[in-house]
């Protein structure tokens, strides 16, 4: 199987496995306890928190809140900001955000909060001035992802943050960096964001663990209630093995980032170049230069993506249509709809995403296999 669905989940890094191993038996304690077994788990978790803060350029380790994944972190950022301090305040997002952001915004709308959804252009890009125009005195938070999870469009997050703060400096800026951390420099300084979401399984960590960076002086309403773990913002016994594994994957990703861009970007470029020569009429969706090096979202006119996915699977290629969260239930992508695609155009689009295990030979091999499938279908 040539696995080209790394945006959905990627292969666990060996550094992750090694870091997690001690916490499956020997250091298995609940980090909330006071005895030695629990203290060992607590110490490991706090060491991971410190390292995560360093890697994100956070001012203090307690700015890192560990969560059960990116979706939960996005919910905490959006819902937690809108409902903080017992108030119901506004949210601004864009039409191409991940469902975890859009649905969180729709949830607070149902509670009476004002929600504005700004548009994107034909490549999926937002305009910072649109965000600035959408904020009001009642806005609590704006959200703009670093990179789109479907087409890979890289958003001008720092420019959005600057534009918003120029008119409403009190408004919090959130960015979903889940898809971007693997290949992009994601720090507080680079993004300009107050709130940053990560999810471990997108960059070689385990599933079911993520984090939200939040300033220590920012108030968020908890979305999971219970024992008050994670500074009262995320109750529930922490997944120590997962947390340690995630931070090991963060370390490995940052160390490999420059080589990743060259290696995996080369694979993606080889794939697209060969595919264009082998498949007449193929189109690459998204901006030509402002997108993740690992993403290739292509449209093959007159071929249905659902049929393509089935035939690609038979040809031992794993790919996706729509976002990863919709795999197995192909429907018109809200991202492509926001970019102006009609139902037919969206239904002809397939996402191929490369990972840290791929090289340039995989790109050429993938193009040949895809071309063979297209030829057979045509």
Hey, which residues are catalytic here? 325
CB within 8 Å of 135: residues ≥ 6 apart: 90, 92, 116, 142, 164, 167, 168, 171
Per-residue burial over 133-149, b = 16 or more CB atoms within 10 Å of its CB, e = otherwise: ebbeeebbbbbbbbbbb
DSSP 11: P
The 283-284 sheet, strands edge to edge? 283-284, 295-299, 349-353
Tokens of 293: 């090096």
Distance CA 213, CA 197 (A): 7
Taking only Cα atoms into account, the Rg of the chain, rounded to an integer number of angstroms, comes to: 21
373, 348, 368, 358: which is closest to 297 by C-alpha? 348
Distance CA 247, CA 231 (A): 19
What SS3 class is residue 364? helix
Per-residue burial over 92-114, b = 16 or more CB atoms within 10 Å of its CB, e = otherwise: bbbbbbbbbbbebbbbbeeeebb
What's 54-119 look like in SS3?
Answer: HHHCCCCHHHEEEECCHHHHHHHHHHHHHCHHHCCCEEEEECCCCHHHHHHHHHHHHCCCCEEEEC
Distance CA 345, CA 303 (A): 10
């Amino acid at each position: 199987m040539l696995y080209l669905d790394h945006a959905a989940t990627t292969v666990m890094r060996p550094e992750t496995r090694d870091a997690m191993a001690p916490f499956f038996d020997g250091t298995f304690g609940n980090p909330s306890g006071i005895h030695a077994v629990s203290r060992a788990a607590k110490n490991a978790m706090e060491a991971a928190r410190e390292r995560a803060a360093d890697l994100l350029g956070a001012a203090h380790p307690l700015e890192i809140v560990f969560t059960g994944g990116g979706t939960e972190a996005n919910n905490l950022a959006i819902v937690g900001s809108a409902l903080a301090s017992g108030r119901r305040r506004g949210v601004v997002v864009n039409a191409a955000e991940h469902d975890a952001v859009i649905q969180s915004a729709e949830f607070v709308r149902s509670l009476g909060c004002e929600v504005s959804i700004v548009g994107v252009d034909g490549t999926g890009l937002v305009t910072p001035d649109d965000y600035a125009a959408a904020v009001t005195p009642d806005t609590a938070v704006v959200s703009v992802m670093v990179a789109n999870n479907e087409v890979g469009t890289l958003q001008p997050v720092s420019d959005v943050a600057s534009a918003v703060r120029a008119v409403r400096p009190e408004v919090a800026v959130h960015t979903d960096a889940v898809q971007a951390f693997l290949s992009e420099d994601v720090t507080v300084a680079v993004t300009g964001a107050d709130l940053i979401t990560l999810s471990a399984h997108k960059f070689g960590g385990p599933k079911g663990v993520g984090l939200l960076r939040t300033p220590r002086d920012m108030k968020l309403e908890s979305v999971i209630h219970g024992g008050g773990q994670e500074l009262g913002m995320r109750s529930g016994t922490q997944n120590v093995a997962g947390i340690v594994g995630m931070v090991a994957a963060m370390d490995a990703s940052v160390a490999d980032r420059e080589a990743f861009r060259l290696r995996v970007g080369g694979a993606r470029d080889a794939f697209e170049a060969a595919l264009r020569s082998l498949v007449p009429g193929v189109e690459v969706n998204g901006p030509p230069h402002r997108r993740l090096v690992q993403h290739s979202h292509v449209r093959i006119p007159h071929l249905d993506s659902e049929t393509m996915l089935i035939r690609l699977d038979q040809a031992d290629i794993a790919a996706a249509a729509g976002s990863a969260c919709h795999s197995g239930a192909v429907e018109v992508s809200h991202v492509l709809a926001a970019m102006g695609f009609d139902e037919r155009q969206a239904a002809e689009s397939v996402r191929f995403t490369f990972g840290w295990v791929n090289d340039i030979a995989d790109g050429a091999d993938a193009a040949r296999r895809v071309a063979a499938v297209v030829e057979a279908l045509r």
